[in-house]
Amino acid sequence: MMRVMLVDDDVPMLKYLVKLVPWRELGLEVVAEAQSAKRALQFLRETEPDLILTDIGMPGMNGLELAQECKRLYPGIGVIFLTCHEDFHYARKAVQLDAYDYLLKDELTSEQLVASLRKATASLHEERESRSELAYKQDLLKNREVLKQQFFQQVVTSASAEGLLRYGERLGVDWQHPQFILALGSMPYSSFTKRYRYEDRDLLLYAISNISSEIPVESISVTTFIEPDGGFVCVANYQPSLNVKGLELFERYLQALNEKIKEFLGMDVYLVYGGPFKDMTSIKTQYKKLKMWRQALYYESVHLSRMPDFESKLWGIDVLSAVGEELEGIRKAVKEQDDTEIQTRIGDIKRKATSTRLEPEELRARLSQWLRVLELEDQRNSDNAFHECLIHTSRLDDTMQLVEAKIQELLASKLPMLDRKPKIQQIEQYISEHLSEQLSLIDVAQHLYLNASYLSRYFKLETGMNFTDYMHRYKMKLACRMLKSKQENIEIISLKLGYTDRTYFSKIFKKYVGISPKDYR
Secondary structure (H, E, C), 221-271: EEEEEECCCCCEEEEEEECCCCCCCHHHHHHHHHHHHHHHHHHHHCCCCEE
Other beta carbons less than 10 A from residue 256's beta carbon: 15
Q: Are 4 and 52 in contact (CB under 8 A)?
A: yes
Query: What's the whole-number mean pLDDT along residues 41-58?
Result: 90
The pTM of the whole model exceeds 0.85: no
Query: What's the whole-number mean pLDDT along residues 221-244?
Result: 90
> What pLDDT sits at residue 252?
94
Beta bridge partner(s), residue 196: none
Q: Are 393 and 364 in contact (CB under 8 A)?
A: yes
CA atoms within 13 A on the CB side of 435: 16
Question: Collapsing DSSP states into helix, strand and coil, what is residue 108?
Answer: coil
Residue whose C-alpha is closest to residue 406's, from 315, 334, 311, 510: 334
Do the domains spanning 171-306 and 420-520 agree at the CATH topology level? no
Superfamily for the 420-520 domain = Homeodomain-like (1.10.10.60)
Q: Are 22 and 49 in contact (CB under 8 A)?
A: no
> What pLDDT sits at residue 417?
41
Q: Look at 133 and 198; give whichever has higher pLDDT.
A: 198
Q: Look at 192 and 497; give whichever has higher pLDDT.
A: 497
> What pLDDT sits at residue 413?
62
- Check pLDDT > 80 for residue 334: yes
> What pLDDT sits at residue 509?
86
CATH 3.40.50.2300, applies to 2-140:
yes
Give the burial class of 311: count Cβ atoms within 10 A of its Cβ; 0-12 exposed, 13-18 middle, 19 or more buried.
exposed
- Check pLDDT > 90 for residue 158: no
- Check pLDDT > 70 for residue 137: no
Please spell the DSSP secondary structure of 196-222, one letter per residue. Answer: --GGGHHHHHHHHHHHHHTS--SSEEE
Per-residue pLDDT of 493-514, as tens digits, reads 888 888 878 888 888 888 888 8
Give the Cα separation of 51 and 100 in Å (integer).
Answer: 10
Least confident window among 23-27, 136-140, 164-168, 470-474: 136-140
> What pLDDT sits at residue 336?
83
Give the Cα separation of 429 and 383 in Å (integer).
Answer: 27
Q: Are 18 and 5 in contact (CB under 8 A)?
A: no
CATH 3.30.70.270, applies to 171-306:
yes
- Would you kindly state where each structural domain of the chain is located, as residue ranges? 2-140, 171-306, 319-416, 420-520
Residue whose C-alpha is closest to residue 9's, from 32, 34, 30: 34
| 73 pLDDT tier (thresholds 50, 70, 90) | confident
